[in-house]
Structures are given as C-alpha cells and as structure tokens.
A and B are shown apart, each in its own frame.
Chain A
C-alpha cells in the first residue's frame, strides 16, 4: 500500500509490467534505445537491466517564453508507443499543460518535488527566459529567471527542450524585445543538455531521459551542448536528396519538374548544410516523413539564431544583393575612373614627348 502511494519506490520494470507492457515489448524498446544511442548490441541487456531497476526520477518541467509546441510534439506525435510509456513513467511532478493541479497547489507540487528529491531530480525547460524585464513572463507571480534559478539549485541536471530553451529561439530573434536568453546562459553550475528543434524530435527527448535512467549520467554532447548521437551529423550529410546536390540537380520552385522528381532543395533555401539534427534518419510521426521528404527545405530549426539566417527561402551561401546590377554600376564607375587615369597617363606621356630634348654627343661632351 505504501508502495502504491509512493510512485518513487516502484521501479520502471514494475511500472511497465503493471501497465501491461510485455517483456518482449520492453526489450524491443531497449534494443531501439541502444541502437538510437549508437551503443553496441552487447549493451542491450545492460540497458534493459538498468531500465528494469531504475526508479522513476522526478521531473520538473518549466515552461517560460514558449508556445507549448514542444509539449505538443512530445505528448502527441509518438503516442501511443513504448517510448511514450517510458515518458509516462517518469514522475512528472510539475508541468503547466499536463498537470491537474493549478494555482498554489501546482506551485506546492513543484516545491514538494524539489524538497523530496533534492539533488536527484531533472529539470526540463522549454521556452526562453526574458532578462529585459522580469514582468515580461511570470508564473504564479514569480519571474521566469527567479523560478529557474530556484528550481535548478537542487537539480541533478537540466534538459533544455526546444530551440527557445536551448538557444533563445523565436523570442531571441531580432530585435529580441524581451531580452530573451537560453537556459545555458543562466545555468552555469549544472549539466545542461540542449535538445534543440522547433519542436525537437520526441524520440530525442525520450532518448536523453533513457540515457539518464540507464547510466545515471547525461550523454556525450556536441559544442552546442546537444547529444552527439542525435546531433552529430548534419541534415545535409544524411539527406536522401544529397545525391542530387552532388550532381547539381536542384528544384527551382516548389512545383517544377525538379521538385516533382525529388531533387535537392538548396536553391529554395534549404538550411540542411548548417543544421545538425536527426530528422533525416529518425523522421517524424513514427517515421512517416520529415520536412525535406515532404518537399520543403530544412529551416534549420535546431540551430542557434535560425530565425535570423536571412530568410527561410534564401540559399545559405548566396549573396543577398542584386549582383548583376551592382556589378554594372561598379564596372561603369571603373570605366570612368580608368578612362580618367588613362587620360592622365596619356597627358603625361605626350608632355614627356613634347618636352623631350634631342641631345647630341657634342652636347653631352660639353655638359661633362
């Protein structure tokens, strides 16, 4: 009875069995997780062992300047799958959108979770934090900055979900009216994992949580704090349209022959070359498709400042200006200046010719 009242006491294996997940289903999930995290097959049993015995970690989910798209992505896209069950069996003690409690009761739940799991709970953040004015975004009268600092103080680690939490995202886009910053700009003394994307791929967040449950640590991260296993390769390098790029076959518009034949979308502004994410391999909606497969270039949503990369439909390396017009003006100016310089030189030349004195050997003899 006491066990039922305290969900923390139940292991993940017990919880899953109680929900009717078979051993086969559980092991299937473990194999998928291991391969997703690029672990060798021999690690599957270790993953299963650890997950079986893992206690449900307390998770506090803080939502700041965000659109709830990340939560939508995580709760809906893969539902119902074993990954989702894993997500369910994390003790999600505080989450605006999903929790039943509201007002003081909700805040009390957060405080209780922090108190009961001091030093062991995970903080998941979606949304950026406004530093311009604390009043720009508050929850229960507490500013985002204050709530983040307070909550993170006793956390084991922080997972910044979505590009807003990871890099500032849309609120951080120019001119950044709220002075929005990312989680890692505030949290310096705790490990922070950035699971960027607008929204991020659901499997990536469950993968990070599974890694934490399995190894008790966070996965290897890239230079932007993102898990290497998911963000180690660019969209461009993993894109199935890449052979067309290498052959120079590009779609010019969204409905031309090239587009119908599935050619590369670089000219239509695809940001695949600068974007690191797992979309090309993991795909979306249970592996149904992903933006490039659907015929639209990558927006680069998992990269910092992706809103400010000079337009979603402008190719990455192509100059913005009208080069032919500029070149024509500039060449015109060059011709004028060149003609002037030429005229000066000619004048100098003819002056030298007219001032040329004929000298005889006798003259030279006289001078010396």
Chain B
C-alpha cells in the first residue's frame, strides 16, 4: 500500500469486503439474538389489538415529546438536526445513490450536491455542539461512557472526511476518497457491537412498547 491509489484500491476492495462481513454478520447475530429469545407467553386475555398500537408507537415515539423538549430543548433539537442531516448526506447525495445503485441495484432521486454540502456542514457543527454539551452538562457527562465517545467519533468521521473529499481539502484526491471510504468502513465494523445498533433495534423496542400497551388496552 505504497501509494494513495493503492490505498484507495484496498479500501474499496478487501477493506470494504471485511467491513461488510463484520457489519452484516454482527447485525444479523444481534437482531436474531433479540428476536429468538422472545418474551414469556402472556396468558391474560387481551383487551385490545397489538398491531395498531405498536405501529402507532413507532411513529409517536419518533416525534418529539413535549415534556423532554421543555426540559432539554437543545438535546432534542440538536438530535433531530444531526440525525436528519446525516440521513440526507448519506442517502440523498448523488454519488452515494450512485454507489448503492452500482452495488445493490437500488436507486432513487437525489438532491443538488451544494444543498447536501450545506446540510453536511450543519450536521458536523451540530455533532460538535452535541459533544460539547455532553461534556459540559454534568448529568450528561456522568451518564456518558467510553462507548458514547467512540460512537460519536465513528459517526462524525465519515461526515468530516466526506466534507474534506468533496471540497478537495486533502491532497491527493485518491487519498481523500480512500480516507472517506475507510471512515465508513470503521463505522460499519463498530456498528453492530455498540449502541449504534439502535438504528435497527429502535423499531423493535418501540413496536414492543406500543404492542404491549395495546394488548392491555392502555395508552402507550
């Protein structure tokens, strides 16, 4: 791996394969573990339907809740901004759609690159502000462990390297692109073994909360 081009070829070749293996095996194992373990059978007579309440809670728990918004508006608003920004950067940037299309054949319309650029900048600034808040707020700091900082790092790295590559702020370009791909691979490898798994498990958790309440005929 003596040249930037060699580095790029490695990260988009064997590096990507390794990251894909770890990511997929990890995610599948962790999801199956949760699903196979199941719950104790509930022999009580159901007072309502699970399905509707479960699906409704999937939505309602995703929307901001008044109480927590009033108590910690910054966490709520910042959290929304960077999550949405991250998704826009990841899924609506045309070169990313192009990559997904070339690898798995799925495609959808993207948005203008300079718009994604602005969104990415806001996302990065928000992520930095969130870290600052986490470290300066006594309760948040107390609740944070090494894993929280690790997940922050692996989340912001693809954003930063992508921003630098887009603006050609790393020279030469194959190195910039290689670093961006590598940072995504690091995210993929870390993903299944940290709380980043919430990207998959939050569906299960929210559905279960709603379904359980629905079955008991209470509001979730």
The chain A residues found within 8 Å of chain B, CB to CB, are: 222-224, 234, 245-248, 250, 266-267, 273-274, 303-306, 308-310, 315-321, 323-324, 326-327, 330-331, 333-335, 337-339, 341-343, 345-346, 349
Docked complex: B55-110 residues within 8 A CB-CB of A: 94-95, 97-99, 102-105, 109-110
A330 CA / B112 CA spacing, docked (Å): 35
B172 touches A319 (CB 8 A): no
A345: B residues at CB distance < 8 A:
33, 36-37
A69 CA / B17 CA spacing, docked (Å): 39
Given A315-B98, A342-B37, output 5 extra A-B contacts at Cβ < 8 Å: A246-B112, A273-B177, A305-B6, A324-B104, A341-B32
A327 touches B24 (CB 8 A): yes
B103 touches A330 (CB 8 A): no
Would you call B12 an interface residue if the criterion is a C-beta within 8 Å of the partner chain's C-beta atoms? yes
A339: B residues at CB distance < 8 A:
32, 36
B32 touches A274 (CB 8 A): no
Q: Which 10 A-B pairs have the closest CB atoms?
A: A342-B36, A338-B32, A334-B28, A323-B103, A334-B25, A338-B29, A305-B5, A248-B94, A274-B173, A319-B16
A323 touches B36 (CB 8 A): no
CB contact between B174 and one of A248, A274, A327, A334 (< 8 Å): that residue: A274
Give the interface SS of chain B, mostly helix, strand, loop or mixed: helix
A197 CA / B99 CA spacing, docked (Å): 28
> B27-40 interface mask toward A, CB cutoff 8 Å, 1 = contact, 0 = none?
11111110111000
Interchain Cβ contacts within 8 Å, total number? 129
B12 touches A318 (CB 8 A): yes
A245 CA / B166 CA spacing, docked (Å): 14
Question: Contacts A223-B171, A223-B172, A321-B13; is A248 near B28 (CB within 8 Å)?
Answer: no
A273 CA / B173 CA spacing, docked (Å): 8
B36 touches A327 (CB 8 A): no
Docked complex: B90-144 residues within 8 A CB-CB of A: 94-95, 97-99, 102-105, 109-110, 112-113
A321: B residues at CB distance < 8 A:
13, 16-17
Nearest CB in chain B: distance from A214 CB, A: 28
Question: Contacts A308-B5, A345-B33, A346-B36; is A248 near B24 (CB within 8 Å)?
Answer: no
A349: B residues at CB distance < 8 A:
37
CB contact between B104 and one of A222, A323, A337 (< 8 Å): that residue: A323
B102: A residues at CB distance < 8 A:
267, 315, 318
Would you call B9 an interface residue if the criterion is a C-beta within 8 Å of the partner chain's C-beta atoms? yes
B36 touches A318 (CB 8 A): no
B12 touches A317 (CB 8 A): yes
13 contacts between A and B (CB under 8 A): A248-B109, A273-B177, A303-B174, A304-B172, A305-B5, A306-B5, A316-B8, A316-B174, A318-B99, A320-B13, A330-B21, A342-B36, A345-B37
B105: A residues at CB distance < 8 A:
324
A342 CA / B172 CA spacing, docked (Å): 47
Chain A residue nearest to B105 in the complex (CB): A324
Would you call B168 an interface residue if the criterion is a C-beta within 8 Å of the partner chain's C-beta atoms? yes
Would you call B3 an interface residue if the criterion is a C-beta within 8 Å of the partner chain's C-beta atoms? yes
A273 CA / B5 CA spacing, docked (Å): 13
A330 touches B24 (CB 8 A): yes
B6: A residues at CB distance < 8 A:
305, 308
B3: A residues at CB distance < 8 A:
304-305
Chain A residue nearest to B12 in the complex (CB): A319
Nearest CB in chain A: distance from B162 CB, A: 11
B181 touches A248 (CB 8 A): no
A327 CA / B24 CA spacing, docked (Å): 7
Question: Contacts A223-B172, A318-B99; is A323 near B181 (CB within 8 Å)?
Answer: no
A47 CA / B57 CA spacing, docked (Å): 74
Q: Give the one of A245, A317, A321 with max B CB within 10 A.
A: A317
B172 touches A224 (CB 8 A): yes
Would you call B20 an interface residue if the criterion is a C-beta within 8 Å of the partner chain's C-beta atoms? yes
Chain A residue nearest to B25 in the complex (CB): A334
A250 CA / B20 CA spacing, docked (Å): 26
A337 touches B29 (CB 8 A): yes
B12 touches A341 (CB 8 A): no
Nearest CB in chain B: distance from A92 CB, A: 33
Nearest CB in chain A: distance from B10 CB, A: 10
Chain A residue nearest to B15 in the complex (CB): A319
Nearest CB in chain A: distance from B16 CB, A: 4
A324: B residues at CB distance < 8 A:
103-105
A247: B residues at CB distance < 8 A:
94
B28 touches A341 (CB 8 A): no
A335 CA / B112 CA spacing, docked (Å): 39
Question: Contacts A318-B12, A319-B12; is A326 near B5 (CB within 8 Å)?
Answer: no
B28: A residues at CB distance < 8 A:
331, 334-335, 337-338
Nearest CB in chain B: distance from A152 CB, A: 25
B32 touches A326 (CB 8 A): no
B4: A residues at CB distance < 8 A:
304
A250 CA / B173 CA spacing, docked (Å): 22
CB contact between A326 and one of B17, B35, B36, B173 (< 8 Å): that residue: B17
B9 touches A309 (CB 8 A): yes
Q: Give the one of A224, A245, A326, A342 with max B CB within 10 A.
A: A342
Question: Contacts A223-B172, A274-B173, A320-B12; is A326 near B33 (CB within 8 Å)?
Answer: no
A327 CA / B105 CA spacing, docked (Å): 13
B13 touches A319 (CB 8 A): yes
B24 touches A331 (CB 8 A): yes
